[in-house]
Amino acid sequence: MLGAPKNAACLKDRGYKKIVIEGNCDERGTAEYNIHLGQRRAEAAKKFLVNLGVHTKGIKTVSYGKERPICTEQTEDCWQKNRRDDTLAQ
């Protein structure tokens, strides 16, 4: 959540009406476990943004579990990159 304060400021300043926070996980663990983990990750990101002043109305969370990796190597560095939340605003 290193960029969260900057993201929150941008979201507030531009007055986005729809925000989707996507929770993602690395490939380890079962699909079911990672779906739940991704949802918790997305909900935590939402809570963090709300605590920074972003209005909760219009924020949707979704989990993709391990289905959308950005790195496919089997290394700790790669797994760390896949453990993330992505924020999309409209």
Quick: pLDDT tens for 8-25: 888 888 878 899 999 999
Q: What is the chain's percent helix, strand, coil content, to nearest 5? A: 45, 20, 35
- Residue 1's pLDDT is 53
pTM score of the predicted model: 0.89
DSSP state of 89: E
> Is it the case that residue 5 has pLDDT exceeding 80?
no
Question: What pLDDT shows up at residue 29?
Answer: 96
Structural domains for the chain: 16-89 (3.30.1330.60)
Residues 6+ away with beta carbon under 8 Å from 34: 25, 63, 65, 66
If DSSP codes are grouped into helix, strand and coil, which group holds residue 6? helix
